[in-house]
């Protein structure tokens, strides 16, 4: 719809609003008591018809068809859509004229009795109605809807009205979150809430957003992860905790990244990363089965089988997909030579572990289509994970990949305060060398560990990416109601 046409239609609707005001008709009434949802009217039709019960429902007009002395309209609420039928001789001339003057997009309250048309369509014979909200902007035309992707995200409120599949996707999102909570509560986990503003950015390698607290006159960092606060709760005696909430990271936009995103983090005392692996697989299977009714899902043209899960170490995965065997590498110079041969980038102050991780990201990640746990991450890229007792250059950590996307990250939590402080010091050195995503020193977390944290397993799941998978949504913006976008005028 071109801008001139839009402006003309809006002027026409504004004139109708003026006419309503002149006639004393309330255009934004709030005194209609809805008693019946449309879905209930449709499902209980036979009973309602037999009892000749007067129903009262409300919704948005989605279609309007005037036929002289009778008018049909479709109204829609959250639960469904139903046809209404108004007659001039039943409503009277004044009310009937008001009905025919309404626009698609207006909200109305309707009362009447149900019947079936000659075509067998369940309908409401209107005995009375009330205008509840006048729409001053026309909805996108039915035959092409709202197709512009950027416009859909920017005006999600319109997207939800005219694209029913979008609304269903977000209803599914709510069901997924509900089932995650129910699963964890059934396992004895306690849901908690930790701060969104931190004095020190920690718990992940990411660039934070910074804000300022006026009363305290200090800068604070918007949460990049709740991890360190949740582990302090393990120190305090809580043994099984989880938080399902928002994190903010000051990074770029992509089909897989939104600066504000939802994550699940859980921690369990007297557990390890193997326990977290079992929980991850069982949780995703259970949620998929409960919400979708099956474990076979389609994602971006790929057939994913959530009933079958694989696992391999990071080194083994690189050997499989890049034909490079880091188990035979003994020095940094050997690792650099392999990287040079394969055109893998590394920084001047790199380590063997960081080069291994670069190889993995370059050659392996996108090839992990079916659910695959990658275990044994280098210690240099895992500053909060416990070292593997058999090979201290690696950690007891895994990440879950499905359809080439990282879905989950977990490890046996590092609870040695001396080792943890040394890892933080290494991260501080990286920050001083220019890595603004490296960890800061967190003395309070070290102090908490010095009081003694039990051995524990921790798990983080990217909820938006999991929902992308379960709803066949290749872009993260499809599963976030109001994703971040560039300003309209740029």
Structure tokens at 328: 């035979």
CA distance 154 to 145: 15
The predicted structure's pLDDT at residue 328: 93
6: CB partners within 8 A, 6+ apart: 137, 138
SS3 454: coil
Contact between 310 and 281 (Cβ < 8 Å): no
User: What does the pLDDT look like over 239-259, one tens digit per residue?
Assistant: 999 999 999 999 888 999 999
332 φ, ψ to 5°? -65, -35
Scan for tokens 């020095």, then name that residue. Answer: 331
Which residues, other chains included, contact 489 with Cβ-Cβ below 8 Å and sequence gap of 6+? none
CB atoms within 10 A of CB 10: 13
- CA–CA separation, 320 and 312 (whole Å): 10
Q: Which residue has the tokens 């003395």?
A: 443
The whole-number pLDDT of residue 272 equals 97
DSSP code string of 99-145: HHH--TT-EEEEEEEEEE-TT--EEEEEEEEEEEE---SPPPPTTT-
Specify burial of residue 119 (Cβ count, 10 A radius: 0-12, 13-18, 19+): exposed
CA distance 308 to 370: 8
Other C-beta atoms within 10 Å of 158: how many? 17
Question: Topology of 3-139 in CATH?
Answer: OB fold (Dihydrolipoamide Acetyltransferase, E2P) (2.40.50)
Please state, in angstroms and rounded to a whole number, the distance separating the CA atoms of residues 228 and 230.
5
Highest CATH level, class, for 161-309+370-478: alpha beta
Residues of the chain with CATH 2.40.50.140: 3-139
Q: How far apart are CA 360 and CA 368, in angstroms?
A: 11
Sign, CA dihedral 140-141-147-148, equals: negative
Please tell me whether 406 is known to bind a ligand.
yes
Q: Which residues contact 339 (CB under 8 A, 6 or more apart)?
A: 345, 346, 355, 358, 359
**pLDDT tens across 277-299, in order?**
999 999 999 999 999 999 999 99
pLDDT at position 431 is: 85
> What span, in angstroms and rounded, lies between the C-alpha atoms of 320 and 356?
14
pLDDT at 315 (0 to 100) = 98
Q: How many residues does the chain have?
A: 490
By DSSP bridging, strand 456-462 and strand 405-412 are: antiparallel
Q: Among all chains, which residue has been given the structure tokens 């057939």? A: 303
- For residue 228, which of 16, 451, 4, 449 has the smallest C-alpha distance? 449
Cα angle for residues 190, 193, 195 (degrees, 5° grid): 150
Q: And the tokens for 76?
A: 């829609």
The set of residues, in sequence order, having a beta carbon less than 8 Å from that of 374 and lying 6+ positions away, is 311, 312, 313, 314, 317, 360, 364, 368, 398, 399, 400, 401
Which pLDDT does position 143 carry in this prediction? 44
**How much is the pLDDT for 217?**
97
Domain(s) of CATH 3.30.930.10: residues in the chain: 161-309+370-478
Residues of the chain with pLDDT under 70: 1-4, 142-147, 490
Pseudo-torsion of CA 188, 377, 258, 195, nearest 10°? 50
pTM (2 d.p.): 0.92
């Amino acid at each position: 719809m071109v801008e001139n046409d839009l402006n003309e239609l809006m002027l026409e609707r504004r004139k109708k609003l003026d006419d309503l005001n002149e006639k004393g008709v309330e255009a934004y009434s709030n005194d209609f008591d809805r008693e019946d949802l449309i879905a209930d009217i449709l499902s209980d039709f036979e009973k309602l018809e037999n009892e000749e019960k007067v129903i009262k429902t409300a919704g948005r007009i989605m279609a309007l068809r005037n036929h002289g002395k009778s008018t049909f309209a479709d109204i829609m609420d959250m639960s469904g859509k139903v046809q209404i039928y108004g007659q001039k001789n039943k409503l009277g001339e004044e009310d009937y004229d008001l009905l025919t003057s309404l626009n698609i997009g207006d909200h109305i309250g309707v009362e009447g009795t149900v019947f079936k048309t000659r075509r067998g369509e369940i309908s409401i014979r209107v005995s009375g109605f009330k205008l509840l909200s006048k729409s001053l902007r026309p909805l996108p035309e039915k035959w092409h809807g709202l197709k512009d992707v950027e416009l859909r995200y920017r005006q999600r409120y319109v997207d939800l009205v005219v694209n029913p599949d979008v609304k269903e996707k977000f209803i599914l999102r709510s069901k997924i979150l509900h089932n995650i909570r129910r699963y964890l509560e059934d396992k004895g986990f306690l849901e908690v809430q930790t701060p969104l503003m931190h004095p020190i950015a920690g718990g992940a390698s990411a660039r934070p957003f910074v804000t300022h607290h006026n009363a305290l006159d200090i800068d604070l960092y918007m949460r990049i992860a709740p991890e360190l606060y949740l582990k302090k709760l393990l120190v305090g005696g809580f043994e099984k905790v989880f938080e399902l909430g928002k994190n903010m990271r000051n990074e770029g936009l992509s089909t897989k990244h939104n600066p504000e995103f939802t994550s699940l983090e859980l921690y369990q005392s007297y557990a390890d990363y193997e326990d977290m692996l079992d929980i991850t697989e069982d949780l995703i299977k259970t949620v998929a089965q409960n919400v979708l009714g099956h474990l076979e899902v389609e994602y971006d043209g790929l057939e994913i089988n959530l009933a079958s899960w694989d696992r391999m170490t990071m080194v083994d995965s690189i050997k499989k997909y890049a034909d490079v065997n880091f188990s035979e590498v003994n020095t940094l110079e050997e690792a650099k030579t392999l990287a040079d041969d394969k055109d893998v980038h590394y920084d001047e102050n790199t380590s063997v572990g960081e080069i291994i991780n670069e190889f993995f990201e370059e050659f392996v990640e996108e090839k992990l289509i079916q659910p695959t746990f990658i275990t044994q991450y280098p210690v240099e890229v895992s500053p909060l994970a416990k070292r593997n007792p058999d090979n201290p250059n690696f950690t007891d950590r895994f990440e879950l990949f499905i359809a080439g996307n990282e879905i989950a990250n977990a490890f046996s939590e590092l609870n040695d305060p001396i080792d943890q402080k040394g890892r933080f010091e290494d991260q501080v050195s990286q920050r001083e060398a220019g890595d603004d995503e490296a960890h800061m020193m967190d003395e309070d977390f070290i102090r908490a560990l010095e009081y003694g944290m039990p051995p524990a397993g921790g798990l983080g799941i990217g909820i938006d990416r999991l929902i992308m998978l379960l709803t066949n949504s290749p872009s993260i913006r499809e599963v976030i109601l109001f994703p971040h976008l560039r300003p309209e005028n740029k």
